[in-house]
Amino acid sequence: MSLYQLQKLIYDVNRNPERRDAYRADKAGFLSRYELTPGEQAAIADLDVRQLYSYGVHPLLLRPFTLLHRVSNEDYAKALAGLE
Amino acid sequence: MPIVFACAASHAPGMTAWTEAAPQEQRDKILGSYHKLGDMLAASKPDVLVVISVEHWANFFLNQMPTFCIGRAQYYDGPVEEWLKISKTRVPGDPALGAQLLDVCLNSGFDPAFSDELLFDHATMLPLHFLNPGMTVPVVPVIINTLTTPMPSPKRCFELGRVLGKALERQPRRIALIATGGLSHWPGEAKMGKINVAFDKQFLETLVNGKRALLAEYSHSAIDKEAGSGGHEIRTWIAVAGALEDWRASLLAYEPVHPWATGCGLVAFNP
């Protein structure tokens, strides 16, 4: 579990246009820059919103990150249905 | 009377970004009250605005997260959000007043961080959009960490407000004090969209008609449970309540606006 690194990746993509471009150009290469577990890597690679939320990613990092991927409010809510 | 006006208001981004999603009656009440606050503020002819605000990962991250941060910059650019429907603007700062407030804090039991370069996100830009049209009045931001734990206790925020209020009362210039955030909301959470009207009304009742020092007694866990992660932003209101313990407060509007996913309140303070 490396929640700090996972959130750092998301923060960088959200807030830094150069990092965002790098992420979009080569997702696998970008993921390797961060110290992530295989599970965390997969959750980013697959944009597994429910898993990322369950790992403890801050909701105000996660929601903007999913907005960059054009996840609607409805789909976001559906992904989190039943969670605390 | 160097503090000439004060107010507290919510900053739900939907107010500008998806205004039309809200029922007309609610948006008329909220935005109308924002414009009313803007008129009241303009009539008080402030030289400087001190904005007690928060931020949402615009500047700070978990590598360094100040509990309190006072801006000392020449100017502030914002909003960081492309989608807010507020034009990108440069807001003038007041480095000298920022530096003075830092000194006052450091000599009064508070040790805030300071910053000579801050970006404004919707938390600060949205209220300024209504309250400082044209961005002509310089701003000193006081940022409270309400984003991630550990956060300062409501009691500390109340006391910080008291320290700032005393210092601002001694200013030769005319100061307007603005708090922004809350009320209950759960942004980005599984409960996103929930609004706790009972909590919001109780908070406003205490602020407007009750013993204002009681606001300092809110606990972190009660706010977290009852008002959500976004509800922690009421610490900015609690700070202004500490600054102006004897001022009268009047409620301009409260509406639980579901399309904006926030309990939205606006309050004016008068001496």
Q: What is the pLDDT of residues B139-168, one digit of tens each?
A: 999 999 999 999 999 999 999 999 999 999
Report the C-alpha gap between B270 and B112 in whole angstroms: 28
Residue burial B39-52, b: 16+ Cβ < 10 Å; e: rest: ebbeebebbbbbbb
Q: Which residue of B has its CA nearest to A17?
A: B80
Residues of A in contact with B189 (CB under 8 A): 59, 80
CA distance B186 to chain A (A): 9
Q: Write the residue in A14, A59, A82 that is nearest to B187 by C-beta.
A: A59
Q: Which of B255, B267, B140, B168 is nearest to B215 (CA)?
A: B267
CB-based contact, A4 to chain B, within 8 Å: yes
Q: Output the six-digit token pair for B195.
A: 């609004």
Task: Tell me the HSE value of B19 on the side-chain side, using a 13 A CA sphere.
Answer: 12
pLDDT > 90? residue A42: yes
**ipTM of model:** 0.94
CA distance B190 to chain A (A): 5
A11–B57 C-beta distance less than 8 A: yes
pLDDT > 80? residue B11: yes
More confident residue, A1 or B44: B44
CB-based contact, A82 to chain B, within 8 Å: yes
Residue pLDDT, tens place only, B46-60? 999 999 999 999 999
Report the C-alpha gap between A78 and B42 in whole angstroms: 45
Share of chain B above pLDDT 90, in %: 97
Measured CA distances, A65 to A51, A60, B58, B122, B188 (Å): 14, 9, 14, 17, 11
Q: Are B174 and B47 in contact (CB under 8 A)?
A: yes
Residue of B56, B189, B225, B260 to mutate when probing chain A, most A C-beta within 10 A: B189
Q: Any alpha helices (H) in B132-218, and if so which ranges?
A: 154-169, 197-209
Residues of A in contact with B192 (CB under 8 A): 59, 63, 73, 76-77, 80
CB-based contact, A11 to chain B, within 8 Å: yes
A60–B188 C-beta distance less than 8 A: yes
A60–B57 C-beta distance less than 8 A: yes
